[in-house]
A and B are shown apart, each in its own frame.
Chain A
């Protein structure tokens, strides 16, 4: 495509660029943060983690049990940075008042005549003529340059220790049937509304269109009552996976039916008639002719409903237990927001895990997703 270089085009590009930055920065920050070391995450912004930065840190040397005797000297040797790679010491100090008194490689002489030498890679050597007697080591202030470093630790922690792995499975168990059941029953329903003649068809269609906009909240109290009564009557748990499948089916039914009806009624009449003349029943027409033609429409509706269920919080809160074996990702995430509100490494990682499936669908099937949304909007 030709790129025009005039002022209005440049202004338009700058404006769009600023929109893009504002829209991507929040998600990008979350993504980066989920890979950061939790101690760093708590004290510095995620934007500092992308470049090499100077950090001021406090370390403690080993105590007396770390010492070895070499000739006249007692020496304690170790490395301050036993975990982080690529960090480089710039300067160091031994009192909190002068935290960068000494340049790296030089020797600091302490009050008790012992000497501390710190090297660039974080190695240190503390030597004294007298034997070290204190159990606790000495504080050393280090100014170091720290290159970007990332870790999968947070993911391990969140998936296995915080129980997000189980919640992820639970969400799949909720989402797949909650998407496929409405798709099955609504496709027959929509076909009947579009191509079969029966008493009350117009009223049914009108009630579907009315149901499209009825808020979920109107259903919560009566359905919860029904579930509780049902559970008490048959002695089963009121909150269960089949229960939430049916609830999601109910809440997604109107839009699924409406979208499918819209698509099915646009199929050519001649095709249906031809099949009828050949003696095919409606069931044959549906399974052999309509179904193969509807695959793209099904894909769009599948994605819309699947994302809706995957991202839902309210239905999951009302119709499932908060027990680890049933809790869904969004509810778990909300629970973590309450209980681990300051542990950003857990929250950012958890949020990103909950977003993986939607984002994967989004980037791989964006075309169908948009098609579904646009089709839904033209009328609904």
Chain B
């Protein structure tokens, strides 16, 4: 495609919906003005005009697929024949699947915990230090980078050269400078998962940091000063005032990172592609979408397993929303 047709496609895509809203609202105004239909229906019709595009997209891309994926998980690889729980039974017996579940659990346990912990500690540090804003920017920066970009950055850190060569990967250079042997980090089973998780922690700490920083500003200054006057140590203030105050925020950050970790795909796909026992559900699912021409049944089972992980969070969100609406 040449550049002019590219630009015109982009513009057409953007203006299509703007024109839709203008046009239909204009038509409605016209119809009401000349009393073609009663004034009573104006608001209902206008709400349909406002809602229709978004609702159609929501239905096509989220609501329908959720139920369709659940349905497909009971069908064969082409989605034609009903086979009951066979795909689920396959999954339970499959080694890759078990390995993925274990790895996913590891990710779920370690990444949200450490990201939240680092975020909280750094937010407290930056709050008290005059160059804290710059530090915050730097630690937050990985949030802007793609997982694949981060993958390249860290693959370079983990790079391995033979023992006689000069190491160009930072980690091995440090290891060698301590007189130890260089390692091919990403190929050591079990441990390599930790090296992959480090990337996610590196990225998500920034998120925790900025949200905690915003929340910290909400702590009343008087409370902190009163505690200091009473002679409480900084550590005591942190545990007895700041942590209880941030309880809700900690929970929120935890859930955000948990949801993200459940779907983790890019990092593993780019770094190891699931080799050396690093596969997780999202990678296995992508794999089964295309392996041997694609198996929609098995792929759906794997997607559904990820969904099961978010159901408690989904229920909790809905519960809180209902409480808020009623107050």
Contact = CB atoms under 8 A, between A and B. Distances in A.
Interface of A: 1, 3, 8-9, 12-13, 15-17, 19-20, 23-27, 29-30, 33, 41-47, 169, 173, 176-177, 180-181, 184-186, 188-189, 191-192, 196-198, 202, 204-226, 241-242, 245-247, 249-251, 253-254, 257, 281-283, 307, 310-314, 317-318, 325, 329-330, 333-334, 337, 344, 347-348, 350-351, 354-355, 358-359, 361-363, 366, 369-370, 373-374, 377-380
A242 B69 contact: no
Nearest to A207: B63
The secondary-structure label for the interface of chain B is helix
Interface of B: 1, 3, 6, 9-10, 13-14, 16-18, 21, 25, 29, 42-44, 46-51, 53-55, 57-58, 60-66, 68-69, 72, 79, 118, 122, 125-126, 128-130, 132, 135, 137-149, 151-157, 159, 165-170, 173, 202, 205, 207, 210-211, 214, 234, 249, 252-253, 256, 259, 262-263, 265-266, 269-270, 281-282, 285-286, 289, 296, 299-300, 302-304, 306-307, 310, 313-314, 317-318, 320-321, 325
Residue of A205, A218, A361 with most partner-chain B CB within 10 A:
A218
Given A184-B17, A210-B317, A313 B269 contact: yes
A16 B79 CA distance: 54
Contacts of A334: 148, 151, 269-270
Q: Which 10 A-B pairs have the closest CB atoms?
A: A250-B61, A311-B146, A189-B54, A177-B13, A351-B152, A362-B144, A222-B68, A219-B65, A222-B65, A192-B50
A208 B58 contact: yes
A177 to B, nearest CB: 4
The secondary-structure label for the interface of chain A is helix
B278 to A, nearest CB: 15
Given A176-B10, A181-B17, A198-B47, 4 more contacts: A42-B168, A198-B43, A334-B151, A351-B152
A317 B147 CA distance: 14
A242 B266 CA distance: 23
Contacts of B122: 16, 19
B65 A27 contact: no
A19 B51 contact: no
A215 B139 contact: no
A330 B142 contact: no
Contact of A221 (B157, B211, B299): B299
B146 A204 contact: no
Contact of A249 (B3, B46, B57): B57
B148 to A, nearest CB: 4
B211 A213 contact: no
A111 B296 CA distance: 75
Nearest to B17: A184
Given A44-B166, A226-B60, A282-B43, A354 B148 contact: yes
Contact of A185 (B17, B314, B320): B17
